Amino acid sequence: MERQPMIRTGDPARNFSLKDQNDKTFDLFEQSGKRVLASFHPLAWTSYCAAQMQSLEENRDLLASLDTIPIGVSVDSVPCKKAWAEHLGITHTPLLCDFWPHGGVAMTYGIFREANGFSERANIIIDENQRVLFVKVYPVHSVPDIKEIIAVLRQKKPA
């Protein structure tokens, strides 16, 4: 799988289907009519990634009120994500496994860190028409501010 240039605001979303921690398939284009917050994180079992995913879970109802489905995405496997979700108490937020081909979705979105073997820490919002509404890459050793994402979603409400 070849790394693409980083996706940008206004671009059409690139479809993907990945398994979540419960071995359920999540297909981006099946979410048409809703917005999707794809929150990429480097690896499970790290404190920054845990805080990032817990933030999605804690704000799930607020995100739902903004017609937005939050998902976490990393290169980890289904069994790894299942154990991690149970450990963190994440019961509603899909934690998707970009495991094989390794980092394929991150490569498609242009945010795979080849030297590290994992994705950038990034938030990508895809609107209800499958277009990229927002893209931001964060320092690897940080937790994205969910308030920033909520502000963007409120500002860019669907028509």
Question: Could you read off the pLDDT of 72-107 as tens digits, one per residue?
Answer: 999 999 999 999 999 999 999 999 999 999 999 999
Check if the beta carbon of residue 96 is closer than 8 Å to that of residue 18. Answer: yes
Pairing, β 132-138 against β 121-126: antiparallel
pLDDT of residue 35: 97
- Which residues in the chain belong to E strands, given as ranges? 17-19, 25-27, 35-40, 68-74, 95-97, 112-113, 118-119, 121-126, 132-138
26-35: average pLDDT = 95
Adjacent-strand bridge partners of 12: 131
pLDDT of residue 4: 83
Is the whole model's pTM more than 0.85, yes or no? yes
Instruction: Report the b/e string of 45-69 with b at 16+ CB within 10 A.
Output: eeebbbebbbbbbebbeebeebebb
Pairing, β 68-74 against β 25-27: unpaired
Structural domains of the chain in order of their starting residue, each with its CATH number: 17-155 (3.40.30.10)
